[in-house]
Chains A and B, each alone.
Chain A
Amino acid sequence: MKEIRNLTALQLAEKIKRREISVAEGVLASLEQINSAESRINSYVTLDEEGALEQAARIQKQIDSGELTGPLAGVPAAIKDNLCTEGMRTTCSSKILANFVPPYTAEAVRNLKKAGAVILGKTNMDEFAMGSTTETSAFGITRNPWNLDHVPGGSSGGSCAAVAAGECFFALGSDTGGSIRQPASFCGVTGLKPTYGTVSRYGLVAYGSSLDQIGPVAKDVSDCAAVLEAIASYDRKDSTSLNREDTDFAAALKDDVRGMKIGIPRDYLGEGLEPEVKSAVLTAAQALEKKGAYVEEFDLSLAEYAIPAYYVIACAEASSNLARFDGVKYGYRSKEYEGLHQMYKKSRSEGFGPEVKRRIMLGSFVLSSGYYDAYYLKALRTKALIKQAFDRAFEKYDIILGPAAPTTAPEIGKSLQDPLKMYLGDIYTVSVNLAGLPAMTLPCGLDAKGLPIGLQLIGDCFQEKKILQAAYAYEQTREWKSCPALEECGNGFAAESLSKSASEQGTEGFEKERAMKIASEQEAGA
């Protein structure tokens, strides 16, 4: 099983195609690792073991008959819990949707199913994608598989941890201000946010509508490209969906950066950036230079305005997007209330966590009469200026290179007390969402503690292929280091007792056990 677990998604699919491994074996390898690691990591909110094995049987038949021939057929994947999955609980890691089972499936997930991927379950996240550490989840924290005392990042922490820990072969995340790229960099995996409009948002529970995009989290650049190709589509159900003809992303995987012009924003290398991170990122740039790329520093400008503009716009849109969670139609409704307004107030106060409430209040404030011009309108204008700054940069450079985050993964429990400081950690990622550009992160080293450092590559609109190519070329220069959690399997009392319960009580019991285990762990440790 360990051999299977260490394969990339594409390698697994290839072996399945050649009948060396069955789809069921691939699924079992993931499930075995989940059984072993979940009690410590808690990547999954909902695991569908039975469903996964059913899918495996069906997909095996389709592969055998020649119906499914794609590069991801038979590969087990995990889906971030803010993507609707018909018949499977979709919670956004929030109490207010703890019992919500959607009547339809998000378009990106449908595309994955068409490609023959096996959906294992839904991964943990910051509540409604609001956060940078996956600590705001109502279903417990997710731990970084590289060091269980540290956060995996957020908001797609569950997806990134699951990939890093071998609990799936790839995952889907969502990125509004860096929510794929930052946790990918903290977890030592590869993550990509495409150009706005490339992947349909239909079925993605909206946070910041003008910024949200779904993207792949995978073990390497090739896997990322394959997953992106599978999920990108023109969807008429999404009015912001683009009809792109250049979605053959796998064709970009060439080990060649000769003549590529790479710009590093000086603004990103200043105060606040950890020396180890800076060093790793600049070393990576040198590696590309050695391969024939031209690398130089430049002034991007407006970097300090990106965070306030982002938070004003994202929170404003979120305050409206989350208004639908009112206890009327679905989701959590308070048990006791008198009258309509009390029902609204109590359901939302009880159902939402503090970070969500903070952002709803912030968003409502900036949209309120008397403040709209000073905050929201100004933020929209800043957004346009930031896009212009990138346009100017891309006249000179093919791609922009920089860090994904100013630090490596912080310790658990250290971030939430100072939300503002936490927000400032998004400095390298948010401007990309404001400008609607594609960007990806991949591992470029470890710090002294052994925590992964991520390299970010940003491209101009529609230039995923350029960043994939540069990423691929860089990747060839490094030894792929797998996460220590992958080495362990079936060790320890906790894992054993869990496995027994699982077979006795079924998946539900497994989840309950896990929740209890985590609760007691949190009491004892963190």
Chain B
Amino acid sequence: MSKEYEMVIGLEVHVELATKTKIFCGCSTAFGGAPNTHTCPVCTGMPGSLPVLNRQVVEYAMAVGLAANCSITRHCKFDRKNYFYPDNPQNYQISQLYLPICRNGGVEIETSAGKKTVRIHEIHMEEDAGKLIHDEWGDCSLVDYNRSGVPLIEIVSEPDMRSAEEVIAYLEKLRMMIQYLGASDCKLNEGSMRADVNLSVRELGAKEFGTRTEMKNLNSFKAIARAIENEKNRQIDLLEDGKKVVQETRRWDDLKEYSYAMRSKEDAQDYRYFPEPDLVPLVISQEWVEEVKSRQPEFQEEKMERYKKEYGLPEYDARILTGSKYLADFFEDAVKLCKKPKKVSNWLMGETMRLLKEREMEPDDIHFSPENLARLIDLTEEGSINGTVAKEVFEKIFDEDIDPVSYVEKQGLKTVNDAEELRTTIAQVIQDNPQSVADYRNGKEKAIGFLVGQTMKAMKGKANPGMVNQILKELL
């Protein structure tokens, strides 16, 4: 490469809001459910049906906008975006084009390159489409309207990002904010958060933007990073060859690690936008804005500082724990029960994180309860079980959310603290392992470890290691 290029990236992020019912009707938004069971005349586009706006959707949209430092459009309205597709029951989508609910905000991100603000152009409300399932054997497509009408907000950024790292940081920040607000669970792999990447390249130092492409079907952060790298190279190669980048939408295939064009500029759709006549303009009073603002929760930075002060946690721990609202809430609930913040933190940062990674889960997927973790901590504190046993029991808690107290009782895992019982076993171990005993007596300190291990083995792990060590030393 003779020239140096930089990437210019903007993101369009769709977020499925966690309301109980759809944006324009009272159907349930619950995930799953047999096809076409969460439907009604409105979300299936029956003749004569009319939309009615869900107030909670507006409040979530406002909350996200305020958290992203946007101004709230006090007179906003809805518009129809007209296009034909079977997952779109009315063949128009009710969205907001002319007067979106939030405008002109910004989100601060931090990367290895430092701090930066990614500006937000606008946030608007719209409805989701249904799901199409293509039946390969039957040579037909099936439509499920359960998802039709689920509320979405679309967050459109300015093209302020310059690297994949910045893109990931931006998405993580958005996700954290939205999760903290309870507005959505923002799971890329489940589709409650969808990111479309608009990317162009230009020579370093150039003032003009290059032609951009839009990429879709990016279902994980890794896929996003791969797609960005791939597209950057593809565009640079084109330009280096003297060719032009075509403005188009491309679909990313993560398995094959390449993208292909979906629609070209020639097929560009004219959506014939016009104001939605079945909905009246939305007037948002100052009082309403203030009320939503007042309900804003403590965000990550604040929480982190509070954890450092209140619980005496180091910065690193506080950051990890507050990285997910779910994890932070879990932490606080557990601490309320057992009053041992450092212990809870250790269990979450240690064993929990290890098992999450092993099982390829996210913190939000944790399905054991703070109560059971608190009970486990209490058990170890009283000395009822030792460290090794605790780890075993914890794994059971992690997978099945068992009650550690009754489990330990049933399995007979209590640590043996009875010195007499231990002496007997240890005496036996000493007898059975003359070589190690000799090694120890000859100055090899480490040999005692082997003897402790043998004792633990004989005691089926239920001995108090400290005591074992003590008694061994005594007897030797």
A211 to chain B: closest residue by CB: B277
Neighbouring A residues of B80 by C-beta, 8 Å: 320
**Cross-chain contact B143 with A239 (CB below 8 angstroms):** no
Most buried by A among B141, B274, B278, B280: B274
Q: What separation, in Å, do the CA atoms of A209 and B273 have in the docked complex?
A: 15
Give Cα A284 to B172, complex, Å.
74
4 residue pairs, one from A and one from B, having the closest CB atoms: A323-B91, A209-B277, A367-B272, A210-B277
B471 within 8 A of A: no
Interface of chain B, helix or strand or loop or mixed? loop
Tell me the smallest distance from the CB of B447 to a CB of chain A, in Å.
77
Cα separation A257 to B384 with both chains bound (whole Å): 97
- Contact segment of B8-16, B47-55, B310-318: B47-55
Residues in chain A near residue B44, CB distance under 8 A: 329
A: number of interface residues (CB 8 Å):
42
B319 to chain A, nearest CB (A): 46
User: B82-90, B250-258, B393-401, B402-410: which one contacts chain A?
Assistant: B82-90
Q: What CA separation (Å) do A412 and B273 show in the bound complex?
A: 39
**Does B270 sit at the interface, judged by CB under 8 A?**
yes
**Complex partner residue of B270 from A210, A238, A369, CB under 8 angstroms:** A369
CB-based contact B49/A317 at 8 Å: no
Given A90-B47, A369-B272, are A324 and B91 neighbors across the interface (CB < 8 Å)?
yes
Q: Mark B414-458, 1 if CB is under 8 A from A, else 0.
A: 000000000000000000000000000000000000000000000
In the assembled complex, 18 residue pairs joining A and B whose CB atoms fall closer than 8 Å, in A order, are: A84-B48, A90-B47, A209-B277, A238-B50, A238-B52, A239-B52, A239-B53, A240-B277, A320-B82, A324-B45, A324-B89, A324-B91, A325-B47, A326-B86, A329-B89, A367-B82, A372-B273, A372-B274
Contact with A along B237-281 (1 / 0, CB 8 A): 000000000000000000000000000000000101110011110
Asked if residues B84 and A239 are in contact (CB atoms below 8 Å), the reply is no
Query: Are the CB atoms of A328 and B280 closer together than 8 Å?
Result: no
Given contacts A323-B84, A328-B86, 9 further A-B contacts (CB under 8 A): A102-B47, A203-B48, A205-B48, A239-B50, A319-B272, A324-B90, A340-B86, A369-B272, A376-B274
Contact of A330 with B46 at beta-carbon distance under 8 Å, contacts A316-B274, A340-B86, A368-B270 already known: yes
How far does the Cβ of B299 sit from chain A's closest Cβ, in whole Å?
Answer: 34
Q: Which residues of B line the A interface, CB within 8 A?
A: 41, 44-53, 80, 82, 84, 86, 89-92, 141, 143, 270, 272-274, 277-280
Q: How many angstroms from the CA of A477 to the CA of B209 in the assembled complex?
A: 77
- Collect the chain B residues with CB atoms within 8 Å of residue A367's CB: 82, 272-274
User: Which A residues, 327 to 344, have Cβ-Cβ distances below 8 Å to chain B?
Assistant: 328-330, 340, 344
What residues make up the interface of A, taking CB atoms closer than 8 Å to B? 83-84, 90, 92, 97, 100, 102-104, 106, 201-206, 209-210, 236-240, 316-317, 319-320, 323-326, 328-330, 340, 344, 364, 367-369, 372, 376
Q: Distance in Å from the Cβ of A452 to the closest Cβ of chain B? A: 31
Which chain A residues border B48 with CB–CB below 8 Å?
83-84, 102, 106, 201-206
State in angstroms the CA–CA spacing of A210 and B277 once bound together: 6
Q: A240-B280, A320-B82 in contact; A202/B50 too (CB < 8 A)? A: yes
Please indicate the chain B residues that have their CB under 8 angstroms from the CB of A364 in the complex: 272
**Complex Cα distance A344/B82, Å?**
15
- Bound Cα distance A253, B49 (Å): 34
Chain B residue with the shortest CB-CB distance to A202: B50
In the complex, chain B residues whose CB is within 8 Å of the CB of A344: 84
- Give Cα A324–Cα B43 distance, bound, in whole angstroms: 12
Task: Contact check, B46 vs A102: say whether CB atoms are below 8 A apart.
Answer: yes
